[in-house]
Amino acid sequence: MHYRSLFGLFAACALLAAPPAVAADGDVGGGGSTPDQIAAAYDPTADYQAGADAYATGNFAAAAKAFRKIVAAVPKNPQANYLLGASLMAQGDYARAVKPFETALRYDEKMIDARRDLGIAQATLGKTEKATEQLAALKALQEACGGICANSAKIADGIARIEAAIAAGPQAQGWVEPEIRLA
């Protein structure tokens, strides 16, 4: 399974749901605007599309830059944080990918992709105990699922990938392509 299939679903639902706030005079912030007014006026559509396009063409640095802008405007959005982490991981920057994955999980603890990739990143960085925590969390989801929920195969795949990363040891994996499918 690829992240690209989830990419459009996550971002479209979470990031593009609300239209930008624009004052009656057409002002969208700046000058004396408060951070809340600027964030309310921000429309992530262009950055999302830029990130999606960059990711699809393998320009992961540009994708990370676009998703970083979205995270700066909506820091509690789990999907935006996840996509930033995935873009960093695709560049092989496991250390910097950890924080966005952790943030995504702080706001959506059942986000399978973020949990899987966080476990892989931690295993690759030699943080076996932390990777094992992510593995345990996915196994708990699997047990609750009982093998019959819609995400059963995805959970099993995440478990297998973290187990493989732990077995491979620190940095043994090299670059692992995150599985994001772009809409």
pLDDT tens series, the chain, 183 aa: 344 433 443 444 344 343 333 333 444 344 444 555 555 677 889 999 999 899 999 999 999 999 999 999 999 999 999 999 999 999 999 999 999 999 999 999 999 999 999 999 999 999 999 999 999 999 999 999 998 999 999 999 999 999 999 999 887 554 455 555 554
Q: Give start and end residues of each alpha helix (H) in 25-107.
A: 35-41, 45-56, 60-73, 78-90, 94-107
pLDDT at 97: 97
pLDDT at 170: 85
pTM of the model as a whole: 0.74
Calpha distance 119→161 (Å, rounded): 9
pLDDT at 17: 40
Burial zone of 18 (CB within 10 Å; 0-12 exposed, 13-18 middle, 19+ buried): exposed
pLDDT at 34: 55
Which residue type, as a one-letter code, is found at position 181?
A: R
Calpha distance 99→164 (Å, rounded): 22
Q: 63-68: long-range contacts at Cβ-Cβ below 8 A with a sequence spacing of 24 or more? A: 63/87, 63/90, 64/88, 64/91
pLDDT at 9: 35
Task: Provide the token pair at 5.
Answer: 């299939």
Calpha distance 161→123 (Å, rounded): 10
pLDDT at 27: 41
Calpha distance 163→35 (Å, rounded): 42
